[in-house]
Amino acid sequence: MLWRSLEQLVFDNTYARLPEAFYTKLAPTPFTSVPSVVAFNAEAALLIDLDPQEVTRPEFARLFGGSLLLSGMEPLAMLYSGHQFGVYVPQLGDGRALLLGEVVNERGERWDLHLKGAGRTPFSRDGDGRSVLRSAIREYLCCIAMQGLGIPTTQALCVVGSDDPVYREQVETGAMLLRLAPSHVRFGTFEVLYYRRQHEHLKVLADYVIGLHFPHLAKRADKYERLFGEVVERTATLIAQWQAVGWAHGVMNTDNMSILGLTLDYGPFGFMDDYDPAFICNHSDVNGRYAFNQQPMIGLWNVGCLAQALTPLVAKEALKASLDHYHRLFQDEYLRLMRAKLGLVEEQTDDRSLIDDFLHLLHESHVDYTIAFRTLGSFSSADGDGNDILRDLFIHRERFDDWAVRYRDRLRSECSRDDERHRRMNRINPKYVLRNYLAHLAIEKAQQKDCSEIDRLAAVSRLPYDDQPGMDAYAAPPPNWGKHLVVSCSS
């Protein structure tokens, strides 16, 4: 690989060549205090061929603290709209983020450099355009955690902090997060053009997305229909992955939905501790619209909003046909993942009841979701083995015993070997997830100028399926105070 310095990054800003109706060009607003690097992800640097040693240069913090631009950058705030908590908002856009430019690596891969917390833009409304340190750290860590879990996500390169005050519920310090993605086009990017009746621009955007990210569709007569079909599939399978790992997004507005099926915009997210299908991770979501068990249907609702935006390009019947596939696509992927989490290799008619009944046991006994599935990997199918470690997780042990008989019979019907199944299950049931209380502890230390816990938690999160010596504390259930942390949209 050819390592590059900051000045050697190769920019090709295709979004800046779209019509000006798509964005507003402007520079970041730098911090007034001296910026410093709080966290740096060397693995993300590899995506753009950036030499990891560049983080030691003063120019690095200046660049991603908003006070320096490289030759070839063309910073801009992207325009979009979207449905927020079910209500259409005509104009949103990058209110505190800027697309600095698009870097092309030596493999020809294209990566947006998107700076979050970069100051006011024309789309900021009444906001200050800033991010606070805690939200930048949370997004940085969760990008790494989701990547480690194998779930499609934006990437995080770094967090740059400052002593600048930012006013939220209390006075906090400001930070900027540099995130990477092949594209930051959202469902809402299409919606704003549709509702403004800029249908020619809508076609330009669809052609742009197809040309860069779905090139196999470019010459098809039905390319827009096929594009929507692939977005539906990516969205359905993404949310199935969220459900299987026990993760809630918290704010599944259409402006937070990636056209590429990436997990986008980490705000009040949360990995479940005790299993609760109605888990709400966003304390602002008073009606539970984005509760954990609502995510699959909200995914369908959101692609329905995208379908409406594409009606000038695609016949309604074709859009409806793709929407009709969503439920099957989601269910197929979800059941595939849940079978694997139970160590099952064959598809049988009673799979759903076996899965659902285990989840019901977890719910009624308030069992930790991640720990339960990881422990299930050690289940013994031998006669007379009570599987005491797993059994003792449950309050109603006799109900677990009844389920365990069914599970043992199911494993035997496949001639399952415990050792092989254990290895297989450990490759899909993580030992470590980014629990809110762990992120909270890392943030508290960082606010005292100690960033070591961010690096330690990031390292654990990169290998969530591996047994990591000396790191068992990160796999333990949270203390009682850690189960009830309030997370909001405030950032």
Sequence-distant (≥ 6) Cβ neighbours of residue 478 within 8 angstroms = 273, 435, 436, 437, 438
* Neighbour count for residue 469 (Cβ, 10 Å): 6
Closest CA to 361 of 404, 422, 332, 411: 404
* Cα separation, 102 vs 10, whole angstroms: 8
Residue whose tokens read 């800003």: 13
How far is residue 179's CA from residue 244's CA, in Å, rounded to a whole number?
25
What 3-state DSSP class applies to 157? strand
Phi, psi dihedral angles at 93 (to 5 degrees): 85, 175
Whose CA is closest to 248, among 239, 235, 258, 256? 239
Residue 39 parent element (H or E): strand 36-40
Element (H, E) at 358: helix 351-364
Catalytic residue among 49, 94, 112, 255: 255
Provide the residue type at 473 as one letter: A
CB 224 within 8 A of CB 248: no
CB 375 within 8 A of CB 389: yes
**Residue owning tokens 């939200």:** 135
Report which of 226, 400, 246, 219 is spatially closest to residue 337, judged by C-alpha positions: 246
The single residue listed with the structure tokens 């050697």 is 8
Strands 87-89 and 131-132: unpaired
255 is an active site residue: yes
Closest Cα to residue 272, out of 248, 252, 290, 291? 248
Inter-residue contact 403 to 353 (CB < 8 Å): no
Rounded to the nearest angstrom, the gap between the alpha carbon of residue 287 and the centroid of all alpha carbons in its chain is 22
DSSP 3-state of 274: strand
| Distance from C-alpha of 470 to C-alpha of 55, rounded to nearest angstrom | 28
Burial class of 431 by CB neighbour count within 10 A (0 to 12, 13 to 18, 19+) = buried
> If residue 60 lies in a helix (H) or strand (E), which one and from where to where?
helix 58-63
User: Who's near 43: CB < 8 A, 6+ residues apart?
Assistant: 147, 462
The C-alpha atoms of residue 42 and residue 157 are separated, in whole angstroms, by: 7
CA-to-CA dists, residue 326 to 171, 203, 296, 333, 356, angstroms: 44, 24, 9, 11, 21
Catalytic residues: 255
